[in-house]
Chains A and B, each alone.
Chain A
Amino acid sequence: MNLIDHKIAEENAIFDAMAPQTGDGFANHATPLIRNCWYVAGRSGEIGRTPLARRLLGVDVVLYRTEAGRPVAMRNRCPHRSFPLAKGRIVGDTLVCGYHGMAFDADGVCAHMPALNRAPASAAVRTFPLTDRGPLTWIWMGPAHLADEALIPALPWLTDPAWGTVTGDYRIKADYVAMHENLIDQTHFPFLHPDTVGTPEYARSKLTAEVEGDQVVIRRILTDAPPPAVYGKPAGIMGKRVTRTSEARFVSPALHRAYAEIIDSSPEPGQPGTYRYHITHVFTPETSSSIHYWWFNSRDLKPGDAGIDSFLHDASSKAYYEDVEALEWIMEVVEQDDEPQFDLSFAPDRPGLMARRIMYRKAMAEVVGGQSPVAS
């Protein structure tokens, strides 16, 4: 063994000795939040020339734009006396603290302190990589050197004019793990969402669940069955029997997306016969027991049709609010019931457990070295 190999072996030994002992497991509300991921910080339109305060992954962040329009995210906490910087004001590209007037530039470095002759060069506030992508602005809360923008998921239907999109948002008092498990579990549809996406046939249809890298995907095909109202009504095919293909994907801790295709094999004249839907669920832990949630329902049928927009917006809001309520009821029980319970799982829970295992491994891999760095 040469000297360099020997030193590397020594370093590895130190590293191994310091690693926490972790078994395998499934993430839940008590698992440390995964930080090495692009999360949505907000809609790009809500970040502007007025400071916007938002707690993301347990950290108070302030969001604004420079004069040139670049989005900026920094800790919402002055390094001097912890005054929330969002209570201050924007001057040029700097954010000026409302307590003693310390000004921080868009890189978070102190540019001016009125009480001193010269700005203290060692004073700075942590900033976070922040990037606009269509209607959303994404933030990286883990170590900045891992913030590869190529990892931001592509969601082309949100900007493509061939697709019509309706959207909404909720703040949910539930954890993001439960939200992911809810979204990849479609066996609850007929019971929690009987009026929108759920049909009795759907609950019993066969699905395949696969792990693809760090993602989990479920697919199912339901033939010769009535469409669910949320898809059938806008297309005007409620009376028909159609083929419904659907895919739901745990993409990352920040994103779940679903794709549905409804095929009417004998369409009325002038009707497309195939109807496609992309459902995009993005959410970001606010804390380990609350999330910011944005949903998007995109269709290739008549983009811009106000009647369909209105119907889909209302139907989606109703369905997702049913999820919100369910998850909040569950969280309330989990947090407040003193008698502990280890939940049972059944065969249909496989996709959810697969996703929770991936989240657990990601979270544990970060416990050693992926802690959020402290800038100052």
Chain B
Amino acid sequence: MAETPGRYIDACILGRRDLTERIAEFLIGAADRSPLPPGEAGSHIELRFGGPSGRFLRHYSLVGPLDPQPSPEPFWRIAVQREDRHRGSAFLHATFREGTRLQVSRPIGTFRLSHEPGPVLLVAGGIGITPILPMLRSLHLRNRPFRMFYAGRSRSELAFVEEVEAMGGSSVTVHDAAVAGLPDLTGLLNAQPAGVIVYVCGPGPMIDALRSAAAGLGWDPARIRHEVFNAAHRPSDGPVTVRLRDGREVAVGPGTTILEALEAAGVDTLSDCRRGECGLCATPVRPGAAVIDHRDSYLGPAERAEGRHICVCCSRVAGGATLELDIA
């Protein structure tokens, strides 16, 4: 019988280089030097790494090889944009060096190219290039028809822009907003062949704009495919205190989730997806002053209004507040 794999793999940073002023690339290898399984185009991994206030868990897309030839790589490549008010990426930029230890999940592949034959449009905005680049490479290697649109605030902020142009050739349009202004997304969609499927990754407002452009054209919404992001972290998050049934208090740092803080404090918890979908971490709340900011997609509107449960993997209360959990 095949061995059951663990959820996380011990890994280390093999190298880093700066791609733009705010984006750095990191190569990740297995700590035991065995080759890491390649992820399918568009897949992402969870990174777990230590920080000053507990553990961080962040999701990053696997960029994959940059070589336009089909050569494999036994390591993983991610690119991380430093968001000054997001503690995870700033901490990672400041501390990750060759040899830094961390844990990684196996590739999670839900943002994926369909095997459906037919034309494809790839749309990347800024750091959203990370899952789109391996999709471009996959289409390029298989000689599939596609167009690509890569937009950013200025060309100097576009990571991998040369690799994108080398692989995509004339199928790629690079849109420099500093020169050309806001992109005309309706015009972009209108120029595509019939039946095109669009894969988009980028800032939330860009994805929303593309979806409404498609809706305006009367397109089936299923033709716009996008990544669903982890909602656990927001720049405005402050430190939180959790009080358990026995009065014990657990401090939750600003870049950490309640779940991670509970785990670090040795409290028994159940969890799986860590992105507010599976509901396994839904935890009973005792009536109190704290207003829950529900960020999960598990609890329905009635359960949210009731406020008796919180999905501790991603939901939160306002900074400085104390959350009373009905667990020991």
Contacts and interface: CB of A to CB of B under 8 A. Distances in A.
Mutual binders A and B? yes
A370 B70 CA distance: 10
A368 B72 contact: yes
Given A18-B33, A369-B74, A376-B108, A143 B14 contact: no
B160 interface: no
Interface in A102-146: 106-110, 116-118, 120-124, 126-130, 143-146
B38 A107 contact: no
B40 A122 contact: no
B224 to A, nearest CB: 14
Contact of B112 (A15, A108, A116): A108
A143 B141 CA distance: 11
Counting chain B CB atoms within 10 Å of each CB, the highest count among A7, A124, A145, A367 belongs to A145
Interface in B36-90: 37-41, 43, 64, 70-75
Interface stretch (B123-131, B242-250, B261-269, B294-302): B294-302
B143 A118 contact: no
Given A14-B15, A109-B112, A118-B298, A375 B143 contact: no
Given A14-B27, A116-B279, A369-B35, A145 B110 contact: no
Contacts of A110: 110
A375 B107 contact: yes
A375 B109 contact: yes
A224 interface: no
Contact of B115 (A7, A118, A129, A367): A129
Given A122-B108, A124-B109, A150-B143, A373 B37 contact: yes
B298 to A, nearest CB: 6
Interface string A219-251: 000000000000000000000000000000000
Nearest to B75: A14
B99 to A, nearest CB: 13
B228 interface: yes
Interface string B227-256: 010000000000000000000000000000
A145 B107 CA distance: 15
Nearest to A371: B37
B29 A117 contact: no
A116 B71 CA distance: 41
A374 B106 contact: yes
B116 interface: yes
A145 B35 contact: no
Contacts of A52: none
Interface string B282-321: 0000000000000001111000000000000000000000
Contact of A376 (B38, B110, B277, B278): B110
Contacts of B35: 18, 367-369, 371
B137 interface: yes
Given A14-B75, A369-B73, A371-B37, A122 B112 contact: no
A107 B199 CA distance: 14
B72 A369 contact: yes
Nearest to B138: A145
B178 interface: no
A341 to B, nearest CB: 30
23 contacts: A7-B17, A10-B15, A15-B73, A18-B33, A18-B35, A70-B116, A108-B112, A109-B110, A109-B112, A116-B278, A116-B279, A118-B277, A124-B109, A144-B41, A145-B142, A368-B35, A370-B38, A371-B35, A371-B37, A371-B38, A373-B38, A373-B40, A374-B5
Given A143-B38, A375-B40, 11 more contacts: A7-B15, A18-B29, A106-B115, A120-B277, A121-B277, A122-B110, A145-B141, A373-B40, A373-B107, A374-B107, A376-B106
